[in-house]
Amino acid sequence: MNIDQFKAEIAKYQKQLAQPIPTEMNLCVEKISQLGAIHYRTGYLLANARRFLRKVKEEKTKDQIDKKKENKFSYQVQNTLLEGAVAEETYLVELLEMMNFSCTQQIEICRTIISKEKEELRYSGINMLG
């Protein structure tokens, strides 16, 4: 994957994660199903983004080593230059981590809503099983 492919897929899932969580039990069940798929996909993308970041860092480090022969930079300056050179890739990794965590949080909220509705139905005397 290249960086533009990551961005396109991230934008798609960001839009879905930004949708409000329903308060109705059946809609929450559907939302959990959608979130499960997004959670899996963002986890997969996160792993690939981390691999991509490592690859880019390796390439940039090799470039810096070649330039170091010409310019005598301290380790701290080299590290700062490297972090600046991979800022966009690092941002994608951080964004995917946040999205993946957001899926988990939203799933838990949906589960809480479902549990609440089940308890309310139980207390109102409606038997959900029969």
Ramachandran assignment for 125, one of left (phi > 0), alpha (psi -120 to 50 degrees), beta (any other): left
15: in domain: no
pLDDT at 61: 83
- Does the structure show a pLDDT above 90 at 22? yes
Q: What pLDDT was estimated at residue 112?
A: 96
In the chain, how many domains are there?
1
**What is the secondary structure of the chain as a DSSP string?**
--HHHHHHHHHHHHHHHTSPPPSSHHHHHHHHHHHHHHHHHHHHHHHHHHHHHHHHHHHHHHHHHHHHTTS---HHHHHHHHHHHTHHHHHHHHHHHHHHHHHHHHHHHHHHHHHHHHHHHHHTT--S--
Q: What residue has token string 């139905």? A: 121
How far is residue 61's CA from residue 68's CA, in Å, rounded to a whole number?
A: 10
Residue 13 resides in a domain: no
Task: Look up the pTM and report it.
Answer: 0.82
Q: Is residue 96 part of a domain?
A: yes
Per-residue model confidence (pLDDT) at position 44 = 97
Q: How far apart are CA 14 and CA 12, in angstroms?
A: 6
In a domain, 18, yes or no: no
Answer yes or no: is 14 within a domain: no
Residue 108 lies in a domain: yes
What are the pLDDT digits (tens) for 42-87? 999 999 999 999 999 998 888 777 766 666 777 787 778 788 889 9
Structural domain that includes position 40: 3-8+24-123
Of 7, 17, 10, 14, which Cα lies nearest the Cα of 88? 7
Greater confidence, 40 or 83?
40
What's the confidence (pLDDT) of residue 113?
Answer: 96
84-127 pLDDT tens trace: 889 999 999 999 999 999 999 999 999 999 999 999 888 887 65
